Structure 1
Amino acid sequence: MRNLAHRAGRLAIVPVLAGATMFGVATPAVAAPPAPQPEPGVSKDCSESVGDGIIVCLVVEKPDPETTLVSAAVESAFGDLKGAIVVLEACDSERCSVQEVATGENTAEVRTKPQEWGRGTGYYRANASMVGHRNDLHSGVVHPGS
C-alpha cells in the first residue's frame, strides 16, 4: 500500500509541473556558464629598426582581465645602448601628455614603469632617443597603426 501511495504522489506532481510550464509560471533556471575571459599576457607594438638593431616598443600587459598596464621601451638587438631616454605618452584627440620617463646607459633595454591604462585616453605612444653601439644618435616613435 505504501508503494501505491508513493506512486500516486509522484504522478500528482507531473501535471503541476506541466501546468506551470503551460501557464508561463517561472521555474528556476540553470545558470549559464561564465563567458570565457581573455588570457593574461603581454603584447608589443614595435617599430622597424631605427638603426643598429634598435627598436622602440609600446608594451601592453594584461595581468588579469580587469587590469591593463602600458609602458614604453627601447631595445637593442646587440645589447649595447650607450644611452637612451624613453617616454610614454597618453594621447586623446587633441594632444599627448607625458606619463612616464625612463633613462639608461650601457644596457640592452630601457623601459618605463608600467602605468594603468587611464580613463579617457584614446591611445598611448612610445617616444625614444638613443645612442647605439656605433655612437650614432637615433630616435623613434611608436603609436597604434604606425
Structure 2
Amino acid sequence: MNNYKISILFLLNKVRINKKGFCPIRCRITYQKKRKIFSTGLFIKPNSWDNGLQLAKPPNPENNIINTQLSLISQKINEAFLMLQVLSDSFDIDDIYIKYKGEEPKAEITILGAYDLHNEKTKKLIGKDFNKLSWSSIVL
C-alpha cells in the first residue's frame, strides 16, 4: 500500500460565465504530481464563491445545496481513492477518476493474456467464420 496523498480542489471557470451570470465549478484531483480536471455540473455566481474555504457563501438554500453537492463529490473521490489503495498495488489518477465515476479500472493485459483472449474469441467463431481445422492452426 502506498502512502501518497490525494488533493481535491474545486475551481471556478470564470472564463465561461453564462448569460445568467453563473460560472461552472470544476474539480481538480492531484495525485503523484498528476492532475485530472473535470466538471462537477454545478454553477455558481463568481462573487458567491470563497476560494480559500472552498465553499459557497453566504449561507442560503441555493448555496447550501451547492456545498452539499461538493461535499458529496469530495467524499466519493476519497472513497474511490481508499478502495484503490486497498484493492490495487498500483494505480494512477485516471484509475481514481474511473472509480469515482462508478466504473471499474481496466487491468493491464500481458502479451500471453492477449493471445489467450484472441484464441477464445476465434474459438467462438468456429462454424461461422472458421472451421475447426483452420482454428487449430491459428491457436498458438
Structure number with greater CO (CA < 8 Å, separation at least 6) is: 1
Q: Which has the higher helix share?
A: 2
> TM-score scaled by structure 2?
0.27
Greater C-alpha radius of gyration:
1
> TM-score scaled by structure 1?
0.26
